[in-house]
Amino acid sequence: MSKLLKNIKRLIVKQIKKEHPNFQTLNNKKKKEVIEKIWGEVRKSIETKKEKEPSKHELLNVEAIPTDILTITRMQALMQEKRLRSKLFLCYLF
Q: State pLDDT tens for residues 21-78.
A: 898 999 999 999 998 999 888 888 877 666 566 777 777 777 777 778 888 999 999 9
Q: What is the domain partition of the chain in residue ranges?
A: 3-93
Predicted TM-score of the model (pTM): 0.48
pLDDT for residue 67: 79
Of 22 and 94, more confident:
22
What is the DSSP code string of 5-71?
HHHHHHHHHHHHHHH-TTGGGS-HHHHHHHHHHHHHHHHHHHHHSPPPPPPHHHHHT-PPPPTTPPP
